Amino acid sequence: MKSGTLLLTRNDIRAVLDIEECIQAVEHAFALHGNGETLPPVLAGIHVHGGGFHIKAGILEARKVFAAKLNANFPGNPARRGLPTIQGVIILCDAGNGYPLAVMDSTEITLQRTGAATAVAARLLSKESSRTAIICGCGLQGRIQLRSILKVRRLEHAYVSDIDFQSADVLAQEFSGTLSVEPIPWQDISTNAKRCDICITCTPSEKYYLTRDAVSPGTFIGAIGADNESKQELDPRLFASCKVVVDILEQSATMGDFHHALEANIVSKSDVYAELGEIVAGKKPGRSNESEIIIFDSTGMALQDVAAAAVVYEKALRANRGTFLNLNS
């Protein structure tokens, strides 16, 4: 085996990371966290004009790896500069001696591990009978969310919606004939959300658009887009009448959709039913009946990145992908 630090591009990662394997790795990371077998992950952020930088870091002692991710998030990039909204790198290190095992592009891992977390939550919190879903936001994350949900639920109808209706139409055409359902572009979110068992919000919105009146009993809501304190997709009043599950409570209380309800004094931290890891680990049950509305507030746990990066590294080694560098030379 070659020695050194493995440099992996986004194409390298796409070639080796499969969404089903990513779901398994992320679920295992949540289980370890839920059982108290991990150290608390770390989060830091700096906001600048037009975007911001986030650093997430964590360690999975069971896999003997540490990873730190630096992501830049600039929503205006695609339209203004022809660049991706999210760009960044992940550094994967040996947790025993600190050696940098790999430096890899973070974009594909961020996309897939986010979709994987939703899939884990949907499997445990949505109705098994769920047949209809709506994806709000038709960017790259909307695409991976749809693919991820289809791994855990047998949908018969999938609506896709975006403030830019052309984006919804492009997504539907792109996936036409490739999935078990045909995505249907739809502009009126409130009308279709009400008829859906699963509602996924993954937009950069800074003003809520999913209201309490638009959600029917039994709905599972995956709130994905609010990854900083200025973003918001859900009406804060939704949190007062739903079962709330978060990935990391302290993150959701400061940057997730939940934090808007918290700041409005509609709920308190004690109103959160569970962290997802507690449910994955069997510490608490998931859905208790067919009529309860359940929100999963997903802010992105660093351990998801660690787990996915470890899988990428191991598979890249076996597939002889990437370029080795000697950073000490």
Catalogue the active-site residues: 69
Which residue stretches of 6-139 are H helix? 10-16, 19-34, 77-81, 107-125
Q: 3-state SS of 234-277? A: ECHHHHHCCEEEECCHHHHHHHCHHHHHHHCCCCCHHHCCEEHH
Q: Could you tell me which residues come within 8 angstroms of residue 78 by beta carbon, excluding any fewer than 6 positions away?
A: 84, 85
CA distances from 144 to 68, 109, 158, 265 (A): 23, 11, 13, 34
The Cα–Cα gap between 46 and 44 comes to 7
Quote the tokens at residue 90.
């992940």
Distances (CA, A) of 104 to 13, 58, 92, 143, 323: 8, 16, 8, 22, 11
Q: What is the distance between the alpha carbons of residues 105 and 84, in angstroms, rounded to a whole number?
A: 12
The DSSP code for 93 is E
- The CA angle 281-222-209, to the nearest 5 degrees, is 155
Distances (CA, A) of 191 to 18, 81, 213: 34, 34, 10
